[in-house]
Amino acid sequence: INAEYMGRSHSMDSRPTGATEWAKHVAISASPAFAWVLVGAPFDIIRVRLQTTSRARFASAWQCLYETVRLEGVFALWKGFVPSLCLSFPHAAVLFGVYRYMRPAGTPDDSALRSHYWGVFTAGVCSGVVPALLQNPWDVWRIRLQTDYSSKKGVLQELLRSKYGWRVFARGGSLTAFRSMGGSGVFFTVHECCMAQLARLRDENRNNNNNNNNNNNNEKKKKKKK
């Protein structure tokens, strides 16, 4: 995804052909998300429980961890694993895909930098819309699972049977959209600025090295003539 976003060209031969090749690419794309959720889920559930309770319930992260494992079992640390995985897997693909489609083309000159980066920021904001729409329902389900202190099943059914119905999955959606859109706009703008600066420094270093090499070669030629 990052390689595609950075504009690196890929030959047609490198693209997957056939169901087997596509399955391999999907597995490769999904493996980082799976590893991230697998390792990060215990930290996430402790964080959520600390943020949604008072110090009277959990005085520290260690106490929260101990009480969770003691009362609910060690697998309670992975509550919300399924919605977290479903959230993580498509997020980056959608975010970078939409941004790459809407990003201003080409490299601007100094006179058009402001309009270019405004376009970058706008593309980043727009790229955060679709992930926000996809993220909020999974987030609602995940947090309800993580804040359920019993070992009973059926949290999803309870959400659907609530008085809000399917609309419960839209709760907090405006804040999720604001965070996703604003954060994506700032992220891509800062990223583009840093990459442009690094590219400029790299070109300057390359030119300096070329000049130094030319000067050294000229000096060697002068010494040989002498």
Q: Report the candidate in 137, 139, 120 with the shortest Cα–Cα distance to residue 185.
A: 120
Check if the beta carbon of residue 172 is closer than 8 Å to that of residue 140: yes
Which tops the pLDDT comparison, 133 or 60?
60
Which tops the pLDDT comparison, 24 or 80?
80
Q: At what angle do helices 129-146 and 81-102 cross, to 10 degrees?
A: 170
The whole-number average pLDDT for the span 214-226 is 66
Mean pLDDT score across all residues of the chain = 77
Q: Report the candidate in 87, 86, 68, 85 with the shortest Cα–Cα distance to residue 77.
A: 68
Give the model's pLDDT for residue 62.
94
- Looking at the chain, the whole-number percentage of residues with pLDDT higher than 90 is 8
Q: Is the pLDDT confidence value at 37 over 50?
A: yes
Q: Is the pLDDT confidence value at 182 over 60?
A: yes
pLDDT band of residue 61 (cuts 50, 70, 90) is very high
Tell me the per-residue pLDDT of 93-135, one tens digit each, with 9 for 90 and over: 777 777 888 888 766 666 677 788 888 898 888 888 877 888 8
- Is 0.75 topped by the overall pTM? no
Tell me the per-residue pLDDT of 128-166, one tens digit each, with 9 for 90 and over: 887 788 888 888 888 888 888 776 667 777 777 777 777
- In three-state secondary structure terms, 32 is helix
